[in-house]
């Protein structure tokens, strides 16, 4: 028999909570390497896949590629996005070593302490952890499934500007993963619910649509592009300072292929504004080159709010014209944020 490992967990789903005012909504979330020359084959028609004790459903349209060392499966999603499935014996060196390796793959410095969110723990030695790493050019979303004798890695790698557009497909794969238990074993008890992250009150502009985001987000929205790529809005809290203001702004500028700013005195760093939850820095930027497949420029609007031991990051990304049309809405949105 098989039983789902991830399909009952809401860790990649944004849950809307009720609120008395129509416009104010609160959102909460519950708490390997490619070969040098992969060769794509035909698209996978929503096919099941299995290896060892795990099986999963491959989303329609993904293309299988030749696997690299240690890989069990490799898929191309289009737009330079790839998903790899790998397994290693034991704990595979520990989560810190693996996360540091991924950090280097997206151009981030390794760190002594790494953060992975635990999204499931079961009595028979199965656990699931999740992380998201955002680099200047490429980013990674990954789930680590630890079994008693081996460790599995499901990893999405994609250009930073487009990774959120692939997140829903990746979520579909993860929530389909099942553990092929022996027929004689009794059904497993449901996994304990993960601790919820704090909610945040937001005045959501008309026309923005609540969307499924990654596990790091406490709120996620899309803005219909009407013929152009949809805009993506995220709200992510991180512990501590999470880098200097200059480092974060330069990271976003690099995503648009803009030159780094030399100091925080540069006017392009952004402007300070005071919202419901305190002072924040709001920054708008537009690429000088075409960065989308349809040869259009990209735009990013961001806000950084430091509150206590947490730094809140608000980000709108998409085609430059769409982002420009939504600048005022974005500013009103971030200034309305009411922290828990």
| Radius of gyration for the chain, computed over Cα atoms and rounded to the nearest angstrom | 20
Task: Tell me the C-alpha distance between 269 and 194, whole Å.
Answer: 38
- 253 contacts 311 by C-beta, under 8 angstroms: no
Per-residue pLDDT band at 273 (split at 50, 70, 90): very high
CATH architecture of 200-335: 3-Layer(aba) Sandwich (3.40)
Task: Tell me the C-alpha distance between 147 and 118, whole Å.
Answer: 14
Interval 164-190: pLDDT, tens = 888 888 888 888 888 765 333 444 445
pLDDT confidence of residue 193: 45
Percentage of residues in the chain having pLDDT higher than 70? 74
200-335: same fold as 32-180? Answer: yes
Of 269, 286, 283, nearest in space to 313 by CA = 283
Q: Is 249 helix (H, G, I), strand (E, B) or coil?
A: helix
Whether the predicted pLDDT of 124 surpasses 80 = no
Whether the predicted pLDDT of 129 surpasses 90 = no
Whether the predicted pLDDT of 50 surpasses 90 = no
pLDDT confidence of residue 29: 28
Average pLDDT rounded to a whole number, residues 119-123:
66
pLDDT confidence of residue 164: 83
Interval 6-49: pLDDT, tens = 543 433 332 222 222 222 222 222 333 333 333 333 444 455 56
Interval 146-158: pLDDT, tens = 888 888 999 999 9
More reliable by pLDDT, 197 or 236: 236
Of 69, 101, 102, nearest in space to 88 by CA = 69
Show the CA angle centred on residue 201, arms to residues 328 and 130, nearest 5°. Answer: 100
Per-residue pLDDT band at 214 (split at 50, 70, 90): low
Query: Can you state the percent helix, strand and coil of the chain, rounding each to 5?
Result: 15, 40, 45
pLDDT confidence of residue 135: 87
Per-residue pLDDT band at 130 (split at 50, 70, 90): confident
pLDDT confidence of residue 99: 86
Spell 207-220 as b/e; 16+ CB within 10 A means b.
Answer: ebebbebbbbbbbb
Return contacts of 294-302, CB within 8 angstroms, 24+ apart. 294/228, 294/229, 296/228, 296/320, 296/321, 298/161, 298/255, 298/256, 298/323, 299/256, 299/323, 299/324, 300/252, 300/255, 300/256, 301/326, 301/327, 301/330, 301/331, 302/248, 302/249, 302/252, 302/270
Enumerate the domain spans of the chain. Answer: 32-180, 200-335
Interval 52-110: pLDDT, tens = 778 889 998 899 998 876 788 999 998 889 999 988 888 777 778 888 888 888 888 87
pLDDT confidence of residue 283: 96
Question: Would you list the DSSP string of 204-242?
Answer: PPTT-EE----TT-SEEEEE--TTSPPEEEEEEEEES--
- In 291-335, DSSP assigns E strands to 297-307, 310-319
Task: Tell me the C-alpha distance between 160 and 270, whole Å.
Answer: 21
More reliable by pLDDT, 31 or 258: 258
Whether the predicted pLDDT of 326 surpasses 90 = yes
Domain 32-180: which CATH number of 3.40.50.10490, 3.40.640.10, 3.30.420.40, 3.40.1000.10: 3.40.1000.10
Average pLDDT rounded to a whole number, residues 123-130:
77
Single pTM value for the model:
0.53
């Amino acid at each position: 028999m098989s039983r789902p490992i991830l399909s009952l967990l809401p860790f990649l789903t944004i849950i809307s909570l009720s609120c008395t005012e129509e416009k104010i909504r609160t959102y909460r979330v519950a708490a390997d390497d490619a070969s040098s020359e992969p060769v794509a084959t035909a698209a996978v028609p929503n096919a099941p896949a299995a290896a060892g004790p795990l099986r999963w459903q491959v989303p329609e349209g993904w293309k299988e590629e030749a696997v690299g060392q240690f890989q069990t499966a490799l898929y191309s999603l289009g737009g330079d996005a790839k998903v790899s499935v790998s397994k290693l014996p034991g704990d595979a060196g520990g989560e810190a070593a693996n996360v540091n390796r991924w950090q280097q793959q997206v151009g981030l410095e390794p760190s002594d302490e790494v953060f992975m969110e635990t999204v499931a723990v079961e009595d028979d030695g199965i656990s699931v952890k999740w992380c998201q790493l955002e680099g200047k050019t490429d980013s990674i979303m990954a789930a680590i499934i630890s079994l008693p004798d081996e460790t599995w890695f499901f990893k999405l790698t994609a250009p930073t500007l487009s990774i959120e557009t692939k997140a829903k497909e990746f979520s579909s794969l993860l929530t389909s993963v099942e553990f092929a238990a022996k027929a004689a074993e009794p059904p497993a008890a449901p996994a304990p619910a993960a601790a919820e992250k704090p909610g945040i009150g937001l005045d959501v502009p008309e026309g923005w649509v609540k969307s499924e985001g990654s596990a790091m987000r406490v709120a996620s929205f899309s803005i219909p592009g009407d013929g152009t790529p949809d805009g993506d809005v995220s709200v992510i809290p991180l512990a501590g300072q999470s880098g200097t203001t200059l480092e974060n702004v330069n990271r976003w500028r690099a995503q648009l292929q803009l030159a780094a700013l030399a100091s925080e005195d540069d006017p392009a760093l952004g402007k300070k504004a005071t919202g419901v939850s305190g002072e924040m820095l709001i920054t708008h930027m537009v690429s000088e080159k075409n960065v989308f497949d349809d040869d259009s420029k990209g735009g990013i609007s961001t806000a950084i709010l430091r509150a206590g031991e947490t730094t809140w990051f608000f980000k709108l990304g998409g085609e430059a014209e769409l982002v420009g049309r939504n600048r005022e809405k974005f500013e009103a949105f971030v200034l309305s944020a009411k922290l828990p």
